[in-house]
Structure 1
Amino acid sequence: MKKWLLILGMITCLSTAVACGQEEKDYSEQYQVTREMVESYVTQEIAGMDEIVKQGAQAYVAEDAVMSNSVKSWESALADMGGYQSIKDISYIVDEDGIMTINVAVEGAKRDAEVVFILEYSVTKGFEATSVTTTPEFTFGELMIKAGLNTLMGMGTVFVVLILISLIISCFNFIPKIQAAFSKKGKKAEASVDNAVAQIVENEAVQEDDFELVAVIAAAIAASEGAASSDGYVVRSIRRIR
C-alpha cells in the first residue's frame, strides 16, 4: 500500500513539474511592448468603440472589417452591461510568433464584461488588431437559467415539429375518401352526359318519324286532289279486281 502511495505521489509531482514547464512564455521585451503602451492603446480603443455606439456612427467604420465587428460585439454586450463605467484590470502576453493577447476587465452599470484584443506583429506595420470581442460576465445562476431556457425552447421546438408531423400523417387517412368522392362525381357527370346524348338521339328519331308521317299525309292529300307530292311520295289508289 505504501508503495502505491509513493508511486502516486511521484506521478503527481511529475505532472506538476510538466505543467509548470509548459507555462506560456512572455516575449513582450523582445517586441518592445510596455504596460504603459498597452494601457494607453486599450483605453483609447474602448473609449472609441463606446463613443461610436453612443453617436450611432457604425456606418463610418463599416468598411473596416475588424473595427466594424469590434463595435458590433461591444454594442451587443452593452445591452447586458447596462452601460460602460471604467476599466478594472488589464493583463497581456506576447507569444513567440508576435501575437499579443490583451484581456481587459471592464465595469458595467449592471454587470462586468471582458474585452479580449488579439494583435499580430509585422515588421512594416508593428502590432495591428485582428480581433476584438466583448463578453458579458454572468453569474452561475444566470448561466443555469439561460441553459434551462435554451433547453425548454429546444424541447418545445421538437414537440411542435412532432405534432405537425403527426397531424400531416393523420391527414393521409382522408386522401382515399377525397379521391373516392371526386371519382363518384366524375361517374355522375359521365352518366348525366350519356343520358343527355341518349335523349337527344331519341328526340331526333321521333322528329324523323313525325316528318315521315307528315309527308305521307301530305302525299295522300295531294293524291286525292290529283297533284303530286312535293316530297316525292306518290299515292296510288288500289282497286280491287273482282
Structure 2
Amino acid sequence: MKKRLLTFALAVACAFSLTACGGASSEEVTENDYMTAEEAVNTAASATQIYVIAASEDPSILSYFSQNMPAMTTVEDYTKFLKQQDTAETDAILAGVESYIDAKEELGSEVKIKTLDAVEGETPKYDAKVKIKGDEIVVNLTLEGNKVYKEGKTRTATQEVIITKNSISSISTTVDYELSEAVSTAGLNTLLGMGTVFCILILIAFCIWLMGVIVKAAQNAGKEKVSDVKAEAVDNTVADIITREEAADDSELVAVIAAAIAASEGTSTDGFVVRSIIRKA
C-alpha cells in the first residue's frame, strides 16, 4: 500500500513539473515561413516612405523625389501609378494612401518615420513594433509630424502595416491623441448623440400631439355634420306640421262657407265646389 501511494505521489510530481516546463517556454517569434521581423519592418517602411515623400511639402524632398522618379512628383501621380499596376497589394496601398492623407492634416506639412538612436557608423533602425502570428505579420511604425498642437509638442501617428505571407494586405494610419483629447472628443460625441436623441424624441412627441389635434378636429367636424342633419330634419318636420294645419284650416273654412251659401239659398251643400285661393307674394 505504501509503495502504491509513493508511486502516485511521484506521478503527480512529474505531471506538475511537465506543466511548469511547458508554461515557461515562451520564446518571442521573430520570423515566419515567408520573412523575418526585420524584413517585414523594411517592407512596411518602404511602402510608407514612398507616399510620405510624395505628399511632402518640403521643396528639397520633392526635388529629390522628382529626380529619382520623374513620372511621380505628387501623391496623385503615385496613386495613378498604383491603379495602373493592378497587383495584389494595390488596393491595400491605395487605402493606406487615403488613410495617410486624412491623417496628414493633423501631422503637418513634414512627416517622417521615427528612427531609434543609432550608434555612430551604424544604419539607424526604425522605431517599430512587430507581432508575428502564423502567416500574418503586423508592423507598427511611428510617424512624426511638425505640427505643434500644445506647448511645443508635435503630433505623432501610428502606421499599421499588415503583411500576409509575403505581400501587404492592409495599411492604415491612426493619429495619436492624448488621453485628455480622447476624453473631450468622447464627451463631445456623447453630447451630440444625446442632443440628437432628445431632438428626435421632441419631434416624435410633437407628431403624437399633432395626431391628437387632427383626430379631435375630425370628431368635431363629424359632430357639426350630425347636428346640421338633425336641424334639417327638425325643420322639415315643423314645415310638414304647419302644412297639415293649414290644410285642416282650409277644410273648416270651406265647410263654413258652403253652409252659409246653402242656408241663404235654401239648398243643400252637395252641389257646391269650393276652391282655395292661392295668394301670390
Mark yes or no: TM-score above 0.5. yes
Paired residue for 1:141, among 167, 171, 180? 180
Equivalent residue, structure 2, for 1:176? 215
Distance (Å, rounded) in 1 between the aligned partners of 2:146 and 2:80: 26
TM-score with structure 2 setting the length: 0.50
Equivalent residue, structure 2, for 1:70? 96
Displacement of 1:129 in angstroms is: 0.3
Displacement of 1:99 in angstroms is: 1.9
The change in CA–CA distance for 1:107 and 1:67 in structure 2 (over 3 A counts) is same
Equivalent residue, structure 2, for 1:231? none
Cα shift readout 1:57-95 (whole Å, capped 9, x = no counterpart): 645545632122111211221122223421114325463
Displacement of 1:109 in angstroms is: 1.9
Displacement of 1:152 in angstroms is: 0.6
Cα shift readout 1:188-225 (whole Å, capped 9, x = no counterpart): 9989x99xxx9xxxxxxxxxxxxxxxxxxxxxxxxxxx
Contact 2:44 2:139 in 1 (8 A): no
Contact 2:96 2:171 in 1 (8 A): yes
Equivalent residue, structure 1, for 2:76? 55
Contact 1:119 1:130 in 2 (8 A): yes
Contact 1:77 1:136 in 2 (8 A): yes
Unaligned runs of 5+ residues in structure 2 are 1-18, 56-73, 116-125, 148-154, 237-281
The change in CA–CA distance for 1:54 and 1:186 in structure 2 (over 3 A counts) is farther
Instruction: Note the 1:159-174 alignment, pairs <5 A.
Output: 159-174=198-213
TM-score with structure 1 setting the length: 0.57
Contact 2:30 2:37 in 1 (8 A): no
Cα shift readout 1:84-117 (whole Å, capped 9, x = no counterpart): 4211143254636232221111101221101011
Unaligned runs of 5+ residues in structure 1 are 1-13, 122-126, 199-242
Higher RCO, 1 or 2 (CA under 8 Å, sep at least 6)?
Answer: 2
Displacement of 1:38 in angstroms is: 3.3
Distance (Å, rounded) in 2 between the aligned partners of 1:78 and 1:36: 26
State the superposition RMSD in angstroms: 4.0
Contact 2:130 2:140 in 1 (8 A): no
Cα shift readout 1:24-50 (whole Å, capped 9, x = no counterpart): 42226x645373673365134332365
Code of the residue aligned with 1:183 in structure 2: it is G
Identity across aligned pairs (percent)?
A: 24
Contact 2:145 2:156 in 1 (8 A): yes
SS at match of 1:112: strand
Equivalent residue, structure 1, for 2:111? 85
The change in CA–CA distance for 1:157 and 1:59 in structure 2 (over 3 A counts) is farther
Code of the residue aligned with 2:31 in structure 1: it is Y
Code of the residue aligned with 2:29 in structure 1: it is K
Contact 1:88 1:105 in 2 (8 A): yes
Contact 1:24 1:95 in 2 (8 A): no
